[in-house]
Structures are given as structure tokens and as C-alpha cells.
Amino acid sequence: MLSSWASPATWLAIFMALLIVVEANPFPISMEASKKLYLVVSEEVNGEGTPGYYRANGGISNIRLGEAELLAETRRLQNIRVHDHENAVPPPRDADMKALMDITVSFLIEERDAALRQAWQEIDPRHGNPARRAWIFELRTSPNILMRPPPNGYLALGGLHWSQITRFSEMSLSTPGISEHQGALTDEDATVPRFVTSAQLSWMPNPEFDMAWEGFGATIVPNGVFNNPGRVQLARDLMRRVTSAELVPDANNRGILRRLLDWDTDRERERNFPLLRRAQPLRLDALSLIQFNWSHVSIPIPPSAQMALLAGVASASQCWDVARRLRFYQDPRNPPPVGKRANEEEEACKGLLGVLEEIEANRSIPKGCRKIKNIELNIGLSDKLLAGTWDTVGGTLEGPAGKAEFTFAEAPDAGTRRTVRINMKSFKSEEIDIGGIDKMTINAAGEFWTLNNIKNDEAYRHPGKDSIFDWLGRYETKTVGTLNLSPSDWSFTPPCLAIKNLEYHFKVGDSSFGGTYDKVNFALGEGKRVDLATGLDKNDHKEGTIDLKAVFNKNTVDIRDLKKLTIGDELAGPALLNGDEWNFRDIPKKVEMRKFELVNQIVKHKDNNEPVWTGNMIPQNWLEVM
């Protein structure tokens, strides 16, 4: 009972004070012990969902904005007034609810197996548009994570700081324990097959995890906290309460928590969401490494480096090490120098990306184009003023296959363009592998000139002479420019479609009566007929070279135009004999064509000059011989 001296005004003041306290703290809060939780996120094409993406943005949140956008978003959240302007579009109450969804992260999972089951549902190939990879993050709880009674579970206000992520892993259809089973799945199988929880995940520790998080846990709140409007303001009030003495009485621990959460209303009275304020875009090299199809790399890569590259968090040493391994695999005779590492993460990972792009480009080289028999260089000087020279200009092609020298021109004028044919005898072989040339040098013996095409509009200068009399003599040849080459630098008419030489090899079957007394011919595409012979015995064969100019009226032929091979015959005897049957055996693999390697079909003369046999072709048929 209060003392009798208290006046009605005093009673009213006390009542109002109690009302304010009750309204300020409408429900009790407490902290549970620190524990682990899991979050599953599917990977997007732009790298969103990967560890590298969230690391660059300071953590995991539904709001990732630049500085100006962050300020605008903060003001938007502050200006939501749920009791005003009910006729607004959208209504403030709806805006309040949507804003709460924007500033929270839900679906935090307590059990590891439950996280694996959730990850599987993201990548399940039986569903429409499955993710190619799902990331599983293990994290430590923090006071901004609300622990609500079941079935609501955990809800993170503002998001999760990157420093509270302990480790992460990924699940895809190539994950061991899943790759062996996923191909046999049907719609009748369980939504989450049993093998999913036995998947052999590789976990990567987060080197930036701050162990100080282990001193805190989630905040326990009653059910229905956000049932009423005013949710954004309530979330902000909760952030103030969980970083205050109400939840963390010890001042030192409270300071640590405020630093971890980056939320201190004593210093920033107007602190508001978004929680994460240090966002930056994922580096392009890291994004490219995330998007690279690593199934195209056949050499073993350390699992830790593989995970870091997939996650977009690879260090400089990891990028350098993988690049070194790939380079050594490509050319064991010329590995990168030991101890020469890139110190900067971006520099090292860009170098690795260059190696991978070269591997990918090599994959695109048609099988029929791996060997080179003839090399022609189209070289041109710039047509700009002073681009000509009085010198003899030439160069070399060099690499594991050897060295070949060539001469472009003597004293070429500006704009001079010529095709130079390389003497393949210089390589001491009739053909070389496409990787046998890795460098081109441009050589000259004199003054200023400009090269075009091989390196556009780049100027090269021979060291000058002190006297005018020095200009009267020919200078010693010097290398004035070097261009490194790789297989991907060669250009093709995909897939090696231009034919300059075409040979044929025709066989008659060895069956009884396999021969014929008819006149046999064949035609390719729309070309003129090529006569083979009149009268062929069984086991007979004919071979030769097709005169492209005579048959196709051109010096080169596009394989895509050779869509059909027809074989015809003309009666060699009396018409009443109606032709005889004979056995067309095959056109064996010769040069590029293998499709008709084994036909072995009995054919016979047909009326109206119809072909006795026809086979359709596509460009890929010509490449199978390699």
C-alpha cells in the first residue's frame, strides 16, 4: 500500500510511468545457450547464394544495397506509419508486413540431416527448374536471432553477419553419395530419398569466423510477437533490447555484442535496418570461377581449393596453386617457375581464369582440326601515315614443334597486305599438333613502322643510329614484337568446314556376283558425277582425288554443302538385260569420312537415271575419323 501523503497527481504520474515501462517492454526476453544452426540457399546464375557473394556483402541478408540505396531504404523503413493513410496503395499495414519479410531471414534449421533434405529439394532434377547447386551454411546463434516456440522456429532480425558463419558446404548432383543414385530416380520415389542424408559433403571452415559469437545465443521470445502492425518498429525495438543491459548485463560482453552486431543505439540513436552496411559486389574473376564448368577439368584439384573456387572465396595461394597444376598438365616440359606466386588475390585468380578460358577454348577446337598441315598468315601494315618501312619485315613461328622463319616483304608501303605461306619442312614433319606453335615474333632491320592485323596499330621501333651514314647500310635483324599463341588463338571455319583436297576410296563387296559390268559413278552434294569405272569385279577398289574445280566449279568446298552421297550406274550392255546386281561394300575411313565405312548392300541399276544408293551426311560425319 502506498503512503497516504501521495496526491492524486502523484498517483497519476506513477501510473503513467508504469504504463510507459509496460509498453516499452511488452513481453519478456531471455537468451538461450549458444548453439549451431543451418541455413540452405540455392545458387543463382549471378553468383547469389554462394559464400563468396555473401562474404562480399558482409553476410546473409535479403537486403544488399549500396551506400546511397542503404540510406534510402533506412528512410523508407523509418517512414512506415501503420496507423496513418489506410487508403494508401499499398496500404501501410501491407508495406509493414513486406518490410518485415525484407529485414528478416527465416528457415533456420537445427539439425544437419534436415538441412541436407532441404538442400536436396533445391536440386532435385525431378522438379521444374532445379538449382545446379545448394549451399549449406553452418552458423552460431546470436541475440538478433529470435527463438520462437514451435512450429515457428528461428528468425534472424536483419540477417546474419559473415563472421558468425562457422563453415559451409555444397550439394549438387555430382556430390559423392548422390551422383551414384540420382540417375535412376523416378517420380514414384520418395520426395527425399534415403541416400540424401548419407551424402559425403566436404565442409570448408570460414577463416573469418569470430569465436566471440560463441559467448552468445539466440533470444527467446513468446509466440505471436509480430502478429500486430508496427512490426518494423518492433523489430528495431527488439534490436535495442537485445543489445542492452536487459539481455546482457555485463558491460564488457555488451560491448563485444554491439561490435559483433554493428548495432549500438548509444552511439547511433537513429540506428535502423538494414543490418549489414558494408556491401560490395562480388569480384568478376570470383564470379567467373564460380560459373566455370569444372567437369571440363580432368586433372585432380585439392578438395579444399575446389570448394574455395566453387564458393568464390579462393585465396591468392589457392588460385596460384591450381593454375600451376593446370599449366603443368598442359605442358610438363614448361611448368611455371617455382616460388613465383601472385601476392594479390585478384591478380592470382585472374591468372587462373585465363588458364581455364584457354582450356575451355581448346575444348571447342573441332576434333578434325587438331593437326596442321598447312599454315598461311594474312599480314597487313597499317594504312596510317608513316606506317610503311624501308626494312625487310619478317618473323618466326616457334614452339615445341620447332621454328619456322618467314619473310613478309622488303620495304613494304603503308597498307601493304600479303598472305605468307609457311614452309612446313622447317618443323621437320608433314603435320604438327595445333599446340606445337606457341609464339610468333615479328622481325625487322630498321626504323619506325606500324604493324596492323597481327597487333593493331602498335608501333615498333628499332634502336636508332647516331649518324646519318648509318642509314645507308642494312641493320642487323632484331625482334621488334612477340605475340604469345595458344591453340585457342587459331581461327577455324567451324567445324573445319572448308575442303581444299578431297580423296575417295571405293570398294566392291566380296560376295558371289559382287561385281558388275555397268559403268559406275558417284556424286557428292550438288556436284557433277565422278566416273569410277566400267566393269568392276568383286573385291575391286578404286581410289583417286576429286578435281574440285571441275566437279564443283570452285577451288574449295564447304562440307555443309555435301549433304548427300549418291552412287549411280549406267548400263554397259543391251538395255533388255536391265542391268545386273552388284555388291557395294563401303567407303572406308579415308581423310575425314567414316560414316559409310561399312554398308555392304546389294544394289542394282534403276530406270530414269535414279541413283542405285544414297546416303545422307552432316558435317560431324567428316570429323569422326580423328
Least Cα distance to 161 among 256, 278, 240 occurs for 278
- Residue 435 Cα to chain centre, angstroms: 24
> Where does a domain end: 343, 363, 383?
363
What is the strand order of the sheet 564-570 is part of?
530-536, 516-524, 564-570, 613-616
Q: In this structure, are 396 and 506 located in the same domain?
A: no
Residues 80, 31 share a domain: yes
Domain enclosing residue 448, as ranges: 371-489
In this structure, what CATH number is given to the domain that contains residue 232? 3.90.210
Q: What is the pLDDT of residue 248?
A: 95
**What pLDDT, on the 0 to 100 scale, is given for residue 192?**
92
Residue-level pLDDT at 460 = 29
Tell me how far apart the alpha carbons of residues 344 and 607 are, in angstroms, rounded to a whole number: 77
Q: How confident is the model at residue 209, as a pLDDT?
A: 95
For residues 177 and 306, membership in a common domain is answered with no
Stated as kind and residue range, the H or E segment containing 71 is: helix 67-78
Cα distance between residue 515 and residue 539, in whole Å: 8
Nearest to 518 by CA among 605, 603, 599: 605
Cell 603435320 -> residue:
431
pLDDT, residue 388, reads: 53
Instruction: Tell me the Cα Rg of the chain.
Output: 38
Residues 242, 102 share a domain? yes
Co-location of 169 and 57 in the same domain: yes
Query: Do both 473 and 425 map to the same domain?
Result: yes
- Give 10-residue mean pLDDT values along the chain (626 residues): 39 38 66 96 90 91 67 68 57 71 88 96 90 96 92 90 96 92 84 92 94 96 82 89 95 95 90 79 77 78 87 87 80 52 69 79 62 78 56 80 84 79 83 77 57 37 32 44 59 59 73 65 83 76 84 81 76 50 46 41 54 54 40
Decide if 335 is inside a domain. yes
Q: How far apart are CA 47 and CA 61, in angstroms?
A: 15
How big is the CA angle at 544 (ends 543 and 550), to the nearest 5 degrees?
A: 140
6 located within any domain:
no
Give the single-character DSSP code of 590: B
CA 131 to chain centre: 15
Residues 538, 478 share a domain: no
With b meaning 16 or more CB within 10 Å and e meaning fewer, what string describes 243-275? bbeebbeeeeebebbbebbbbbbeeeeebbbbb
- Single pTM value for the model: 0.55
Say how many CA atoms lie within 13 Å of 398 toward its Cβ. Answer: 10
Claim to verify: residue 32 and residue 130 sit in the same structural domain: yes
Smallest CA-to-CA distance from 517 within 571, 456, 595 is with 571
Helix, strand, coil % in the chain, rounded to nearest 5: 30, 25, 45
Residue 186 lies in a domain: yes
What's the CATH number where 398 sits?
2.60.60
Is 19 contained in some domain? no
How far apart are the C-alpha atoms of 78 and 219, rounded to whole Å? 24
> Do residues 296 and 359 touch, judged by C-beta distance below 8 A?
yes
Residue 485, domain member (yes or no)? yes
Single residue among 424, 455, 489 that ends a domain in this structure: 489
Within-domain flag for 275 = no
Residue 270 inside a domain? The answer is no
pLDDT of 517 reads 66
Answer with the one of 363, 393, 422 that is the final residue of a domain: 363
pLDDT score at 300: 82
Residues 609, 507 share a domain: yes
What Cα–Cα distance (Å) separates residue 122 from each residue in 32, 127, 173, 196, 287?
31, 9, 11, 12, 21
For CA atoms 524, 529, 531, 534, the dihedral sign is positive
Q: Where on the phi/psi map is residue 472: left (φ > 0), alpha (ψ -120 to 50), or beta?
A: alpha
| Distance from C-alpha of 239 to C-alpha of 507, rounded to nearest angstrom | 86
The total number of structural domains that make up the chain: 4
In a domain, 4, yes or no: no
End-to-end CA distance of the chain: 102
Do the beta carbons of residue 312 and residue 133 sit within 8 Å? no
Question: What are the φ/ψ torsions at residue 601 (nearest 5 degrees)?
Answer: -125, 135
Judge residue 137's burial from the number of C-beta atoms within 10 Å of its C-beta, 0-12 exposed, 13-18 middle, 19 or more buried: buried
Does residue 232 sit in the same domain as residue 130?
yes
Retrieve residue 237's grid coordinates: 525495438
Residue 399: CB atoms within 10 A of its CB come to 18
586/574 Cα distance (integer angstroms): 28
Task: Extract the C-alpha cell encoding 548.
Answer: 574440285
Same structural domain, 206 and 301: no
Residues 247 and 105 in one domain: yes
